[in-house]
Amino acid sequence: MHGHCVHLGDLIALRNEGGSPTEIYSCSHPMFPETTAKHCAKCEYRRPFDPGDNIPPPPSQRIIEEVRVSGQQRVNTWCVGITTIPTREDYFHKTVDSLASAGWRNPLVFRDDPPARGIWKNWHRALSEMTIREPNADAYLIVQDDVVFSHCVRQYLEASLWPPGRVGLCSIYTPATYDTGNGWFITNRGENLWGACAWVFPPDVAKELLHAKVIAEWDRKRNVEMAIGTWAQNEHRLVYYHTPSLAQHVGEESTISPTWKANGSRKSDSFRGEEFDATELLPRKRRQKIAERGHRDVPIAIVIPCHNYGRFLGDAIRSVINQSVRPDEIVVVDDSSTDNTQEVARSFAGVRYMRINAGSVATARAAGLHATSAPLVCFLDADDELPAAYLDNGYAMFKDPGIGLVYSDMHCFGEETRILQMPTFDPDHIEWDNYIHAGAIVRREALDLIGPLVREDPLITEDWDWWRRIVQRGWKAAKQQTVYRYRKHGLAGEQPQRSKVLKQTDYYHRAGLAYERVTIVTPLAGRMWAWGPYSAWLDRQTWPREQVAILLVNTSHDAEFSAMVREWLIRCGYPDVRVRAMRVGERDLADAPRKKAGTAVRTAMADMWQQIRLSIDSPYVLSLEDDCIPPDDGIDLLMRGFDHDVGSVAGPYLSRFHKGYVAWRLNDAGQRIHFVDRGEGYDYLDGNGFGCTLIRTQLVRNHVYRFTGDNTPQTSPDFDIAFYLALHRKKTPTNRTMKFRMCWEAEAEHLSKDMAIAPE
């Protein structure tokens, strides 16, 4: 262990997580060494107790300089605790619910179980434990178990603390004997302070109080407020109260003795009720500012998947706890770890720990997602960190209801230090390559709609797969200004070094292309002889039918042929088949002598693609003519040819007009040189016909199809040649030179190649 035991022998706190209490153990405390577990089996602590091991050091000098409301010491990060005894559950639940309405969820609960230590010891130990667990909190709030609060007290305090003057203690409960004036006021009642119901301590004041020698005098002698009052008076510390009271004491019995009944002075006359919005007490300008930041009221969950990264996990959790807007749920999902992941996770108050044995980061993230309920979720890898304003600035982007996720640049730290600047959101770009890191903040609704979160392919980049599917469903992404902290290190868990494996894995697996949807677009010219082989291929092809949409563009003007198509459609078993009748040319135009009908054919094809290009909603489109029959696994073969810079992959087919294939390279003069001899594997090329080609849909959608009649090295009357000429030497959205490929194993049988139609 690093200096101290993290599992105190007796339970000192509970946190309610999802309806069931989570045990919270303590480090050792300077005032209570007799309760420390000196031989803790959980962490194998074996050395003698030293009170100096884990209590925060005292301030080097007391902070007495003035801190103005201007924001010099702004309160963003809270640590909240409730002190209680087992017999007061009726009041306790009211307090927890009211705290949530006031703005604080999941407080630490310090219960003085038998044998009771007494109210002062339990209270003092609670404050000590809070400063240990949350050393970077801006404020510590300790409340009794019989107090209720006005609505939005947290927002009000964050806008008004600290009061003008020197930093001091603040009571947000004001008994009747103190009610006076408006807003914050200073009292000098010393040891006669009343009402230890709800105290706010600045960090330095809390730590100074814990080290004060005078506090030992109050052990089992007098109540909490008198102990605090005496210390504050002796140390010349300011004590603030507030009118109206922001809290109310509702208990009818004393927490010190059940036989002591409350009297009128233990109630506040100025409390305006739990439904009162405390932010109404702010000046109008401040109320408007809080209203503008109202998006912060949307709960957020942090899910931290971890496999053998216990050495980094503490830093990750602390970065979450220290957020300027603290999340409502924090869950660590331990996936088969054999290190100290569990001990580290359980050492933090407010962090839920769960264990799975999946060996999959996607499964761990999904488990954390299902274990939380907040509308916004951030997946933080256990070796990364969040800057303090990350959640706050991310919240702001979700004002737009169309935003599904918010990402940022990345600050690499550790073994490599640099800033990775990510592009602004472009839905086309995300399809080519990933620029949204796994630590993005995502809307739960968007994740719920994308289907299975865990794929069977272990080599898939899970976060990229999720983000693409979210964007494909119409959600937008936004980039925030706070930079995500991404740790670069050579250490690896006991699982394979997955990042290294992924770099060596082909694009097909990394991008999860096996799960992509493909739209098959086929113009039907009414050729009865071609429909049989074509429809038979549709029945046989092996790409999953739930991932296939079929768009049949019927240009036949033939009732008998149309009836044949409808009959197949009824029995085909594809869930998404559309038949679109379109008049783009004369009947039988496809088989007319091209010498005479060339212009009509070119015009018809350009017109057809121009009309349908915007109706394709899948990421990939297979342009397949009715007389081209690829292999049954043709779509899979073509999909495997894609890479981060490849725009299309063709299945070659023989030309009916010239020797060789409808595929070409360009020479230095810009002339097309067709492939004549069959090759093998995948070849790069400069263009091909649309007879059997799998294309990124964005390229089809963004191109304007028209017939110009021009025939130069830079233009062509043929729509397919013009398509590739327009993309020649263009950049991809990732700023790479776009490339095109052809898969020889996906060669399609061209049924029309022997029809002896004379070339032009």
Question: What letter would DSSP give residue 751?
Answer: T
Q: What is the mean pLDDT of residues 280-292?
A: 66
- Residue-wise pLDDT tens digits, 115-132: 566 677 778 878 888 887
What does the pLDDT read at residue 74?
A: 65
What does the pLDDT read at residue 353?
A: 96
Of 544, 522, 547, 549, the residue nearest 535 (C-alpha):
522
User: What are 397's strand-pairing partners?
Assistant: none
CA 279, CA 286: separation in Å to the nearest integer? 8
CA 437, CA 293: separation in Å to the nearest integer? 25
What does the pLDDT read at residue 267?
A: 80
Question: Residues of 343-379 as b/e, b for ≥16 C-beta within 10 angstroms?
Answer: bbbbbbbbbbbeebebebbbbbbbbbbebbebebbbb
CA-based radius of gyration for the chain: 35
CA 462, CA 452: separation in Å to the nearest integer? 11
CA 365, CA 476: separation in Å to the nearest integer? 22
Q: What is the mean pLDDT of residues 202-224?
A: 71
Q: How would you write 61-123 as a 3-class SS string?
A: CCCCCECCCCCCCCCCCEEEEEEECHHHHHHHHHHHHHHHHHCCCCCEEEECCCCCCCHHHHH
User: What are 185's strand-pairing partners?
Assistant: 241
Query: Which of these ranges, 288-292, 623-627, 720-724, has the smallest mean pLDDT?
Result: 288-292
Strand order in the sheet with 329-335: 352-356, 329-335, 300-306, 376-379, 441-443, 403-407, 476-479
What does the pLDDT read at residue 100?
A: 84
CA 332, CA 632: separation in Å to the nearest integer? 45
Backbone conformation region of residue 273, classed left if phi is above 0, alpha if psi is from -120 to 50, else beta: left
Q: What is the mean pLDDT of residues 147-155?
A: 90
What does the pLDDT read at residue 133?
A: 74
CA 22, CA 630: separation in Å to the nearest integer? 60
pLDDT for 222 beyond 80: no
Terminal Cα distance for the chain, rounded: 84
Confirm if 410 and 385 have CB atoms less than 8 A apart: no
- Residue-wise pLDDT tens digits, 352-397: 999 999 989 999 999 999 999 999 999 999 999 998 889 988 998 9
Give 678-681's long-range contacts (Cβ < 8 A, gap of 24+).
678/652, 678/744, 678/747, 679/744, 680/744, 680/745, 681/743, 681/744, 681/745
Query: Which of these ranges, 78-92, 143-157, 500-514, 587-601, has the smallest mean pLDDT?
Result: 587-601
Of 690, 697, 680, 689, the residue nearest 642 (C-alpha):
697
Tokens of 598: 């060339």
CA 202, CA 190: separation in Å to the nearest integer? 19
CA 430, CA 334: separation in Å to the nearest integer? 30
For the chain, what percent of residues have pLDDT higher than 70?
75
What does the pLDDT read at residue 408?
A: 95
Confirm if 742 and 663 have CB atoms less than 8 A apart: yes
- Residue-wise pLDDT tens digits, 21-67: 444 444 444 444 433 333 333 433 333 333 333 333 333 322 222 22
Provide CB contacts within 8 A for 303, sequence distance 6+. 331, 333, 365, 368, 369, 371, 372, 377, 378, 379, 380
Helical H segments across 212-266, by residue range: 224-234
For the chain, what percent of residues have pLDDT higher than 90?
45
The CA-based dihedral angle spanning residues 687, 692, 693, 694, taken in that order and rounded to the nearest 10 degrees: -170
Cα 710–chain centre separation: 51
pLDDT band at 640, cuts 50/70/90?
very high
Exposed (0-12), middle (13-18) or buried (19+): which is 709, by Cβ within 10 Å? exposed
The CA-based dihedral angle spanning residues 336, 339, 345, 348, taken in that order and rounded to the nearest 10 degrees: 170
What does the pLDDT read at residue 252?
A: 64
β-strands 628-629, 646-650 pairing: unpaired
CA 367, CA 346: separation in Å to the nearest integer? 18
pLDDT for 711 beyond 80: no
What does the pLDDT read at residue 146?
A: 87
Provide CB contacts within 8 A for 536, sequence distance 6+. none
CA 365, CA 168: separation in Å to the nearest integer? 43
Query: Which of these ranges, 18-32, 446-460, 497-511, 564-578, has the smallest mean pLDDT?
Result: 18-32
Whole-number Cα distances in Å, 603 to 584, 607, 759: 8, 6, 18
Confirm if 650 and 585 have CB atoms less than 8 A apart: no
Tokens of 438: 């796994």
Whole-number Cα distances in Å, 347 to 6, 350, 748: 6, 9, 63
What does the pLDDT read at residue 394?
A: 93
CA 1, CA 481: separation in Å to the nearest integer? 38
Give 174-178's long-range contacts (Cβ < 8 A, gap of 24+).
174/241, 174/242, 174/243, 174/244, 174/245, 174/246, 174/268, 174/270, 175/245, 175/249, 175/265, 175/266, 175/267, 175/268, 176/264, 176/265, 176/267, 176/268, 176/269, 177/265, 178/241
Map out the domains of the chain with their CATH numbers. 1-55 (no CATH), 67-291 (3.90.550), 294-505 (3.90.550.10), 516-750 (3.90.550.10)
3-state secondary structure of 13: strand
- Tally of CA atoms within 13 A in the half-sphere of 358 that contains its CB: 21
Mean pLDDT of the chain: 80
pLDDT band at 596, cuts 50/70/90?
low
pLDDT band at 753, cuts 50/70/90?
low
The residue ranking higher by pLDDT, 626 or 287, is 626
What does the pLDDT read at residue 123?
A: 81
Cα 143–chain centre separation: 33
β-strands 476-479, 183-187 pairing: unpaired
Place of tokens 């262990």: 1
User: Residues, the chain, total?
Assistant: 760
Place of tokens 């020197």: 166
